[in-house]
Amino acid sequence: MFQRHPIQNDSMMFVTTNTEDKRKVFAHPAHAREAIDTLYRTQEQHPFLLYGFVIMPDHCHFLVKPISPVKISTIMRVYKYGVSTNIGVGPIWQSRFHLKIVEEVETVLHYIHANPVRANLSGSPQEYPWSSASGKWEVSEWGCL
């Protein structure tokens, strides 16, 4: 199954993808780490700017800007396939993903980074290891759009 988004690149996008049946696949640290590593490998193969992300136990949020001619549908297909293959636990994703064109970058980035705090997984966004808020992961500066 696939979905069509009228805008596929050259726009700031807030993307959410969920695991099938809300399975907490990424509660396992090795799986969460692989989800991040696969994100960067996907970025090397299909260039996009990455401004922020969080890998939650049962879903992922990304703030990205695909660079033409790369399409967000290609990025997400390659990413989801790569994560599933690399962690080797069978099909893990819902078939679709949610996309919203972003106008308020700072608001969306705050929402992404605060997700683990709202879910009681950490006391602050910086404490959660599977997020760009932790400072462990390289992301683009959103002020330099």
Peptide bond into 47 cis (omega under 30): no
Answer yes or no: is pLDDT of 12 > 50.
yes
How far CA 45 is from CA of 29, 33, 107, 134, in Å, comes to: 25, 19, 29, 25
Supply the pLDDT for residue 11: 85
Model confidence at 4, pLDDT cuts 50, 70, 90, reads low
* Structure-model confidence comparison of residues 91 and 33, the more confident one: 33
Q: Which of 135, 60, 41 is nearest to 99 (CA)?
A: 60
The identity of residue 142, as a single letter, is W
Going by the DSSP 8-state scheme, the letter that residue 69 receives in this structure is: T
Number of other residues whose CB lies within 10 A of the CB of residue 3: 11
Cα–Cα distance, 109 to 145 (Å, whole number): 14
Model confidence at 1, pLDDT cuts 50, 70, 90, reads very low
List, in order of start, the domains of the chain with CATH numbers.
13-137 (3.30.70.1290)
Q: Write the pLDDT tens digit of every residue in 34-90.
A: 999 999 999 999 999 999 999 999 999 999 999 989 999 999 999 999 999 999 887
Cα–Cα distance, 8 to 111 (Å, whole number): 23
Supply the pLDDT for residue 2: 44
Q: Which of 77, 70, 71 is nearest to 96 (CA)?
A: 77
> What are the tokens at 130?
């599977």
Number of other residues whose CB lies within 10 A of the CB of residue 106: 10
Number of other residues whose CB lies within 10 A of the CB of residue 18: 17
Q: What is the pairing mode between strands 13-18 and 59-66? A: antiparallel
